[in-house]
Structure formats: C-alpha cells, structure tokens
Structure 1
Amino acid sequence: MIEILATLSASAAAGMRIGIPLLIIGLLQGSHFWSQVPILSHISPPVLLGLLTIWSLVELFASKKLTGQRVLQVVQLLLSPLVGAIMGLAVASATATPNWLIALIGGLLALVLQLVQVGWFYRLRGLPLWAVFLQDTLGVALVLFAFDAPWQGGLIALVLLWFALRSAKQWYDWYWKGQGLGTRD
C-alpha cells in the first residue's frame, strides 16, 4: 500500500512539472539510480543530468511569463504521461503490483493533473504567479514525500485528483450554462 501511495505522489509531481521531479529524484538517489529507471537508463548519466538541469531551469523561468506558460503547457501535456509512468516505476521498484499497471496509473494521474492545469490556464487566460509558485512547490514537495512520507504524499495526490474531478464538473456546468458557448453575461 505504501508503494502505491509513493507512486501516486511521484506521478502527481510529474503532473505539476516534468523536469524538476526527475532531477530531484535523480539527485536524491544518486547518478547510478537513473541506470535502473526505464527509458532513462539508455541515456548517459552526465548528459541526462545536464538535460534535466536545463529543462528544470526552463520550467522555472518560462512559467513566470504568459508566452512561456503557453509553450510549457504544450510540452508538459505531451510528456507528462510518459514522465508520470517513469516516476511511478522509479519509486515503486519493489512492489508486487505489475509494472505495466504502475506505469499506467502514474501516467494517467500525471495526464489528468496536467489537463486540469491546461484547463485553468485557458479559463483564466494565464495562470497567476501565485499558482505557478504553488505548482513549483507542490512538484518538489510531492517528490520528497514520495520517499520520506509516502502516506502524506499519496494523500496530497488523491486530494489533487479530487480537485481535478471537481474542476471538470465545474467546467462542464460552466460550459452548459452558456458561458462556454460565447454568450457571456
């Protein structure tokens, strides 16, 4: 059970950001850790460290401007399921649950959280700066919780999933009340 909660926590971090969680998990576990992670094991550790560092800096700085948010939304939407699956597999290495199921759950959770962010981005016409800082903080915290406090990290991931479902219901109601059809009050 703890492995599943840790997987949810790490995958939710990938739903917030894609480079920062991978960089943190690699730094926490050491450079040899990446050689045991699917897909990332085919990349040289120094090259991977450099790529993840550069992408993490891009995420941190580009997310503060509207144009940067737009570009990041597209890239993160495309890559979040893959990174969520990788993060889930990286954290749950010794569980009895089949790897394909862990990868599927991790990828889907990351995709759902990323879709919610895209929805809020377009509904608000850009994310406010406080929300961007919250994303960064949650991404880092969820990775740390995945290793040090999987119960709390898993609980936060489930709360984020609940928030995503509530948001989807709110958008559905908003759209069918006419606001989504172009007839604004």
Structure 2
Amino acid sequence: MIGILATLSASAAAGMRIGIPLLIISLLRGINLWSEMPILSRISPPILLGCLISWSLVELLASKRLWGQRFLQLIQLLLSPLVGAIMGLAVAAATETPNWLIVLIGGSLALVLQLVQVGWFYRLRGLPLWAVFLQDILCIALVLFAFDAPWQGGLIALLLLWFAVRSAKQWYDWYRQGRAYLNP
C-alpha cells in the first residue's frame, strides 16, 4: 500500500512538471538509479543529468510567461504519461507491486493531472503567476514526500485527483449551460 501511495505522489509531480521531478529523484537516489530504468538506461548519466538540469531550468523560467506555458503544456501533455510511469518505477522499485500496475497507475495519474492543467489554462486564458509558483512548490514537495512520507504524498495526490474529477464535472456543467443557451 505504501508503494502505491509513493507512486501516486511521484506521478502527481510528473503531472505538473517533467524535468524537475526526474532531476530531484536523480539527486536523491543517485544517478545510478537511471541504469535500472528501461528507457533512460541507454543514455549516458552525465548527458542525462545535463538534459534534466537544462529542461528543469526551461520549465522554471518558461512557465512564468504565457507563451512559455503554451509551449510547455504541449511537451508535457505528450510526455507526462511516460514520465509518470518512470517516476512510479523509480519510487516503487523496492515494492512487491507488479511493474505493469505501477506503470499504468503512474502514467494515468500524470496524464489526468496534465489534462486538468491544460483545461484550466484554456479556460482562464493562461495560468496566473501564483498558480505556477504553487505548482512548482507542490511538484517538489510531492517528490520529497514520495521518499520521506509516502502516506502524506499519496493523500495529496488523491486530493489532486479529486480536484481533477471536480474540475471535469464543473467544465461539463459549464459546457452544457453554454449549449443550452445556444439551442433553446
């Protein structure tokens, strides 16, 4: 159970950012961790670390501007399921949970959270700066919770999933009201 909660926490972080969670995990667990991961084991560790640092800086700087948010959301929407699966595997490597289940849960949660973020971006016509800073802080906290306090990190991830479901219902109601207005 703790492994699933740690997976949820790490995957929720991947649903917000891509490079920052991978960089934090590589700094916490050591660069040798990536030699055990299916896709990342083929990349040289110094090159991988350089790419993670560069992409993390791009995420931190570009997310503060509207054009940067648009660019990042396209990349993150495509890569968040993959990164969520990798994060889940990296965190829950020592558990007895089957790898396919960890990959499925991690990738799905990261994709759902990324879709909600994209939805809010288009509904609000850009995320406010305070929300972007909150995402950065929450992303880092979720990665740290995945290692140090998986129970709390998993609960935060489940709260974010609940928020995603509530947002989807709110958007559906908003859409239906708009359609009822157009078709009396």
The TM-score bracket by the shorter chain reads over 0.9
1:161-182: per-residue Cα shift (whole Å, max 9, x none)? 000000000000000001x789
Alignment of 1:13-32 (within 5 A): 13-32=13-32
> Which residue of structure 2 lines up, in the alignment, with residue 143 of structure 1?
143
> Which residue of structure 2 lines up, in the alignment, with residue 81 of structure 1?
81
Q: CA deviation at 1:38?
A: 2.2
Q: CA deviation at 1:77?
A: 0.2
Alignment of 1:23-172 (within 5 A): 23-172=23-172
Question: Between the two proteins, what is the percent identity of the paired residues?
Answer: 81
RMSD: 1.2
* Distance in 2 of aligned mates of 1:66 and 1:150: 33
Q: Are the structure 2 counterparts of residues 44 and 109 from structure 1 closer, same or farther at C-alpha, using a change threshold of 3 Å?
A: same
1:134-167: per-residue Cα shift (whole Å, max 9, x none)? 1100110000000000000000000000000000
**Counterpart amino acid of residue 36 in structure 1:** E
Partner of 2:15, secondary structure, is: helix
Partner of 1:142, secondary structure, is: helix
* Distance in 2 of aligned mates of 1:160 and 1:173: 20
* Distance in 2 of aligned mates of 1:181 and 1:6: 43
1:8-66: per-residue Cα shift (whole Å, max 9, x none)? 00000000100000000000011111111221111111000000000000000000000
**Counterpart amino acid of residue 29 in structure 2:** Q
Partner of 1:177, secondary structure, is: helix
**Counterpart amino acid of residue 63 in structure 1:** S
> Which residue of structure 1 lines up, in the alignment, with residue 175 of structure 2?
175
* Distance in 1 of aligned mates of 2:181 and 2:108: 31
Q: CA deviation at 1:6?
A: 0.3
Partner of 1:78, secondary structure, is: helix
Task: Give structure 1 stretches of 5+ with no counterpart.
Answer: none
Moved over 4 A (4+): 180-183
Contact map agreement 2:11 2:106 (CA 8 A) in 1: yes
* Distance in 2 of aligned mates of 1:139 and 1:40: 21
Q: CA deviation at 1:122?
A: 0.0
Q: Are the structure 2 counterparts of residues 55 and 2 from structure 1 closer, same or farther at C-alpha, using a change threshold of 3 Å?
A: same
The number of residues matched between the two structures is 182
Contact map agreement 2:3 2:97 (CA 8 A) in 1: no
* Distance in 2 of aligned mates of 1:46 and 1:88: 22
Partner of 1:135, secondary structure, is: helix
* Distance in 1 of aligned mates of 2:60 and 2:181: 34
